[in-house]
Structure 1
Amino acid sequence: MNVKGTIALLLAATAAVAQQVLVPPYLQPGNYPALTSEGKVLIWQTDTVPGAFVVEYTAGTNFEHAKKISRSKVTVTPLNLNKQTTLLYRSQLGKLKFDQDYIYRVLQNGTVVSTATFRTRTRKPETRFAVFGDCGARSPQQAKISWLVNEQKPDFVLVTGDIVYNNGREQEYRRNFFPYYISSKSDSSVGSPIMKNIPFYMLVGNHDIYSADLAKYPDGLAYFYYNDLPLNGAVPEETLEVKGPPAQVDAFRKSVQPRFPRMTHFSFDHGNVHIACLDANSYINPLDPTVIEWLTNDLRTSKADWKIVAYHQPGFNSSKAHYDYQLMRLLSPVMEQLGVDLVLTGHVHNYQRTHPLAFEPKKDSTGARYLISKEGRVDGKFTLDQAFDGVTNTKPKGIIYIVTGAGGAALYDKEMSAKPFMWKHEPQENWVPFTAKMVSDIHSFTLIETAGKKLKLRQLDSQNQVIDQITITK
């Protein structure tokens, strides 16, 4: 065979095994919790065909006038899931400056696979971020919310859990989540490419851990594959139990270290906001001593103007759905003592905002233990600040609790929307009229903006209409 014939055969063979990008490159916050150093992480996934990737980045919004172009190391983790091997790539963009625009590009054999710009965190006393949860359901509403959030150009996005349905599997992320947030175009019918240039801080919800039995779901617990978040949190005494054949469990743990299980509790700063993110799933003791010690130190030492705590399952919820699960109420006295301003949750597929409130959980006759019903209810004493309206009175006395779980999954209790007479539960020790606003008949997301001692919260629905707004001042 002559040389031309050999080359032709080689080219044909190469084309036959051409690499397929399964998840395009997207931006993650990385392990940068405090405003002392800054960086980001790029993640992408391909099929089993290896690629010689190069990642370059520079300050500014184009490469043509760059004074210096940096290259970052690319690492690859083979994932042997569902009798298939895929390759998960990571590249850390380090030593970034605060308040700076950057551009990155991912190249393979000199060809640009992906490029996008992003802006690093700010140290100024301001920020603007979006919040939603319960989103990865492969729905038209999910696409619309993605598009609307991208149009708002937030500094970052906080996802309050239940990232993907139904079980948090790798194949579900690739089918139900990424296509809506790393879309090739920005359109209300398909979503947006928001994750290419805006980092998502994602909390773990109950649907994200339903696949902890790897014998049943070999591609389970994909939360730990696809996220790269701060690793400054506590590891509680009781953590998620991963089940399955020992070799399979060992392979999972090796693939996700050091993220499992530490990454389910973390905190970070952005501008003048400090956010502590917690795991509130059923295996967690809300008053775990290790977590309480970490949370106390984390919030007490923060110099941020605004202190926010986020977790998936709400303690204060007036919907019928998930009403009985109230274990996170036990954390209220601790958060009150530590000066928490807002609590952001999901789980219930609608929007709710409480009056500012304080809560004292009920104890047994010895005063040593909190009382919890078999359903998970926590009775106690409520103190409501009903004078706060967020317009004329903007100084709340107590914590405001938000449920923002209308990010894409089917809505809960649509008939209860804006009907306070339907929100009542019994007995009075378990429920008082703590809900100031509930919108349950349309999908929505939360937009929070801070400027010094002023915080503005707006809830925007899938028609881009403001359905709730308050201002808080200090």
Structure 2
Amino acid sequence: MTEPSKQRRKAGLIPAAALTLALLLAGCQPGPPQPPPSTPPGTSGPPETSSPTGTSSPPPGPSEPAGRSVHFTAQGDIGVSTGARKVLDTIAGLRPELNLALGDFSYKAGIEQEFCDMVTGKLGADFPYQVVTGNHESDGHDGDIANIVKCLPNRLPGLQGDYGTQWYVDYPEQNPLVRIIMVSPGIDFHDGKPLDYSENSERWRWTEEALDGAGPKGIPWTVVGMHTPCLGVGRYDCQAGREFTNMLMDKKVDLVLTGHDHTYQRTHQLGVGIPCPNLVPNTFSTGCIADPDAGMEQGAGTVFVTVGTGGVGLYEVNDDDPEARYFASWSGRNRDPALGTLDVTATAGRLSARFVPADGYTFTDAFTIEGK
């Protein structure tokens, strides 16, 4: 399929002899097990050791407050190559509860079952490998999302919507910490036309309602996943749509995940308001940057991450792109190239994410959003 170009926390005094005796006695008693040392928040690094299967042991992730947590991975643009298998090995080593697959799977019609067998062979037949379509399978030209959905079905209870195309789920099902919303703007379907996500359209209103519904249920975090990005320093322009992207920012979505561009790109926290009435693609406005640090606060804006690093060949990145100053970190074929996955952990009070490279790559990135 031809794709358009353009294309970030008194002891009392006792006699010395008694103290000495107490210490000697204590030394003869077995002590309690000692916990392993913790990792400072935000620490990340390249793969350290190799397991017997050749999978790299990933670096320890950011420290998390005690309590319930949700752990998931996300990436898109996968294929059935050695690179895809390396990324799946990385995901398996991380042991997430679920994975968000951001579209573009087999890259060839008729081999969807081969793709699914590869995934289940690495992650297990019942693992929640949750999909949303990419442009390569949306219209049947290089695969069919209907076939992918059939061999990689939904594994999460309570899912609402049309799985594979437009759906949301609260996770975990009881006392959820994250509402995950997956949508499909900006790509063609079987009729040769994109689904309508224009302002006030049915799909726009569905997305708004899904976002607005998280707060009343006391769900701390909202994560939106879709194949096409809007901002980028890679190959593509704003295929997701300017108005739709601004709506996500206006709704203060915490994290937006995309694929399509075969690169890793992470923005600063971006927000709309008085300093930035709306975000305009292909330009830059300082007022749209709500927080330029890797440690951010919830409610100030949205972090956009493109993770098109699931296995296929990488694209180049352009440091001179007009939108580059919106980005905190990027990697592509011509700069710190890496296949890998985004690794996300959410608690009631913090969302932490890091890019974990597949075996043989060293690029990393990490950021946190502190809850309200």
SS in 2 for 1:401: strand
User: 2: distance between equivalents of 1:446 and 1:390?
Assistant: 15
Question: Deviations for 1:232-282, whole angstroms, at most 9, x for unmatched residues?
Answer: 23xxxxxxxxxxxxxxxxxxxxxxxxx6xx751100011301111001214
**Identity across the alignment (%):** 22
Paired residue secondary structure (1:336) = helix
2: CA distance, partners of 1:329 / 1:444: 28
Return the structure number with greater strand share: 1
Gaps of 5+ in 1: 1-123, 184-191, 234-258, 361-369, 417-421
Over 3 Å counting, the alpha-carbon distance change for 1:277 and 1:359 in structure 2 is: same
Report the secondary structure of 1:145's partner residue: helix
Q: Partner letter of residue 228 of structure 1?
A: P
Shift of 1:227: 4.1
Deviation, 1:332, is: 2.6
The answer for the alignment partner of 1:309 in structure 2 is 224
8 Å CA contact 1:447–1:458 kept in 2: the answer is yes
Q: What SS does the corresponding residue of 1:397 show, helix, strand or coil?
A: coil
Which residue, 213, 226, 232 being the options, matches 2:151? 226
1:334 maps onto 2:247 in alignment: yes
Deviation track 1:413-438 (CA, whole Å, cap 9, x = no partner) reads 1xx4xxxxx42235xxxx36111100
Asked if residue 404 in structure 1 is aligned to residue 307 in structure 2, the reply is yes
How far apart, in 2, do the equivalents of 1:329 and 1:399 lie?
15
Aligned partner letter, 1:308: V
Please state if 1:292 is matched with 2:204: yes
Any idea what the Cα deviations from partners look like across 1:148-201, whole Å, max 9, x if unmatched?
A: 1011110001001112203xx3x21133x1342232xxxxxxxx2x03242111
C-alpha separation in 2, matches of 1:179 and 1:436: 36
Separation in 1, partners of 2:135, 2:350: 33
> Judging changes above 3 Å, is the alpha-carbon distance between structure 1 residues 130 and 291 closer, same or farther for their aligned structure 2 residues?
same
Deviations along 1:115-151, one digit per CA (max 9) or x if unpaired, are xxxxxxxxx8420001011002x21111111111011
Aligned length: 279
- Structure 2 residue 111 is the aligned partner of structure 1 residue 172: yes
* Structure 2 unmatched ranges of 5 or more: 1-66, 189-193
Alpha-carbon distance in structure 2 between the residues aligned to 1:293 and 1:387 = 28
Local SS of the residue matching 1:408? coil
| Partner of residue 120, structure 2 | 182
The 5-angstrom pairing of residues 122-133 of structure 1 reads 125-133=68-76
Q: Which residue of 1 aligns with 2:266?
A: 353
How many Å separate the matches in 2 of 1:381 and 1:387? 13
One-letter amino acid of the structure 1 residue matched with residue 137 of structure 2: D
Backbone CA RMSD of aligned residues: 2.9
Q: Which residue of 1 aligns with 2:85?
A: 143
Aligned to 1:442: 338
Sort the Cα spacing of 1:212 and 1:443 in 2 relative to 1 into closer, same or farther, 3 A: closer
TM-score of the aligned structures, taking structure 1 as reference length:
0.54
Structure 1 residues 470 and 462: alpha-carbon distance in aligned structure 2, compared to 1, 3 A threshold: same
Q: Deviations over 1:371-420 (max 9, x none)?
A: x9xxxx676866333743224x555732100000100111111xx4xxxx
Distance 1:212 1:387 in 2: 41
Q: Match of 1:89?
A: none
Partners of 1:342 and 1:228 in 2: how far apart? 24
Structure with greater contact order relative to length (CA < 8 Å, sep ≥ 6) = 2
